[in-house]
Structure 1
Amino acid sequence: MEMKVTQDSMGTHLDWKHEGITPKMIDWFWSNMEKGFILWHPSQHETLEWAVAPKHGNPIGSVHIAPQTWNDGTRQNLYIRFEDLATVPANVKEYIVYEHCVVVAGLGFGPESLEVEEVMGYRIHQWEKTDYGVVGKSSAIGMKKKETPEQGITWSEHCAEEIGNWGAFLPQLYNLYQVVTNTDYNPYADLTVEGKGKDLNYKYIR
């Protein structure tokens, strides 16, 4: 697996590549995070819960509670929402260049954050198929809560371990769950996007 970290005025970005993983597996992961959240980062993640569960075919508006402790020792109990691309600022969407993506927003650290209007910031994860597997990019962009370059590096270290661990468990977990045909317990949404920049939107989610 290859990774490269860059930073600019908007935030921190992590380019990555994976062998043996398909875009469909990653699409599936975002509607089924509770099944693999501890595997995603065994040393820093705790059990994930859904404050608002995703619907089969459409995870927009779902909110997961993601307790975790980063390398700097900070424990966070983040409320994170799956965003509608139509509501994401154009300058954030400009970073999306691959065929599949998810944009999630950090809302806060308790149930009251479900009512916030101004988000703390965005995390973009995007990916597309290659001959060997997938190529992708993850970005941390602060909004209400701006992040220092040092905080961005701390995030990139955490994210790199998450993305890297996909190679250790995601193909197996995805394949195991193919026997579960009840979409109440095994939802799926195709996260292919179309358009560019401000016109970017999901192709199959309406």
Structure 2
Amino acid sequence: MSEKMIFNGGQRRIYKEGEIPPVYERLPYDRCEVLTDIAPLEFHQKFKEADLVTTVDVTELVLGVNAEMIDWWWGNLEKGYHLWAPGEHYGFEWIVPPCEVGYEGSVEASYEFDPVHPMVITRVGMEKYPYTTCYEHCWIAQGHLGPAQTTLVHMYEDTEGGILWRTVQIMEEKDLRTLKEQNICMPDTTSHLQYESGRLRYFLPQLYELWKDHPDPYQNVHFDLRVTKTEDGTFRHISDNIIKNH
């Protein structure tokens, strides 16, 4: 067999252009507490001429999981993508699997707002992180909403009983204007994110426990997405997150 297997998240119905998928009620989940007394993020001086705007910024207290589980989850999404947001996650596949390239440069196709056209998301390095503060762990990636490039950030750190989980979406001001001028509707990101965060404790601890001792790093990817601050006030991951010994 000459072609490599594509890691995917289970069976996925192939919808035709214009076909409307069935609507399912959300499964039970506990809506996480949204924290409102969080200091606003400030753009680092290096990014102030980039005309960036923060379009989503939500901080939640997510109980029942820890930061190590979340680090692992980003390399193993195909193992439970449908469990994460049943009825709203239509399908998943790795275009460039992290087991091949590590964290940076891995690419996923996530069918969550559109069952026909996926969000293609590429994980990038912390040199793209534009703020002056960060939590202890950080996942950062870039993709497109219509013609607009967007940077997505999930940062998180352990706290009593769970994690502090901050989700941020960033665009250039000109791209945000283009979306408005072309009347391109933004997906209901906040509601979907609340469903995802509220579902984590229902499946992730059990899934992590099942896989934690599996010895093959190609099948069981482990990342360390802790960050450290550099001399110029920007951030970098403390690990290169390259998969060894496969």
What TM-score does the superposition give when structure 1 sets the normalisation length?
A: 0.80
Letter in 1 for 2:214: V
In 2, Cα distance between equivalents of 1:81 and 1:198: 24
Aligned to 2:235: 200
Establish whether residue 98 from structure 1 lines up as the match of residue 139 from structure 2: no
Aligned to 1:115: none
Larger Rg: 2
Aligned to 2:120: 79
Match of 1:20 among 52, 64, 88: 64
Match of 2:164 among 129, 135, 154: 135
How do 1:12-51 and structure 2 match up within 5 A? 12-51=56-95
Match of 2:113 among 55, 63, 69: 69
- Measured after TM superposition, the shift of residue 133 of structure 1 is 1.6
Establish whether residue 167 from structure 1 lines up as the match of residue 201 from structure 2: yes
In 1, Cα distance between equivalents of 2:67 and 2:188: 27
* Structure having the larger proportion of residues in strand: 1
In 2, Cα distance between equivalents of 1:75 and 1:153: 15
Aligned to 1:121: 150
RMSD: 3.1
**What secondary structure sits across from 1:134 in the alignment?**
strand
In 2, Cα distance between equivalents of 1:181 and 1:17: 32
**What secondary structure sits across from 1:162 in the alignment?**
helix
In 2, Cα distance between equivalents of 1:122 and 1:185: 28
In 1, Cα distance between equivalents of 2:197 and 2:68: 15
Aligned to 2:44: none
- Please identify runs of 4+ aligned residues in structure 1 that moved more than 4 A: 4-9, 150-153
Deviations 1:152-191 (A, max 9, x none): 6811111111111111111111111124211111111100
Deviations 1:46-102 (A, max 9, x none): 2211100103893111000101237xxx8641110011112x1xxx53165210010
In 2, Cα distance between equivalents of 1:183 and 1:56: 10
Establish whether residue 185 from structure 1 lines up as the match of residue 226 from structure 2: no
In 1, Cα distance between equivalents of 2:207 and 2:185: 31
What TM-score does the superposition give when structure 2 sets the normalisation length?
A: 0.68
Given the superposition, is the C-alpha separation of residues 119 and 95 from structure 1 closer, same or farther in structure 2, using an over 3 Å criterion? farther
Contact residue 141 and residue 151 of structure 2 kept, 8 A: yes
Unmatched runs of 5 consecutive residues or more in structure 2: 1-31, 42-52, 242-246
Given the superposition, is the C-alpha separation of residues 161 and 96 from structure 1 closer, same or farther in structure 2, using an over 3 Å criterion? farther
Letter in 2 for 1:100: H
**What secondary structure sits across from 2:198 in the alignment?**
helix
Unmatched runs of 5 consecutive residues or more in structure 1: 110-117
* Structure having the larger proportion of residues in helix: 1
In 2, Cα distance between equivalents of 1:199 and 1:154: 31
Letter in 2 for 1:185: Q
- Aligned residues, how many? 190
Deviations 1:14-70 (A, max 9, x none): 111122211000000000011111111111112211100103893111000101237
Contact residue 105 and residue 119 of structure 1 kept, 8 A: no
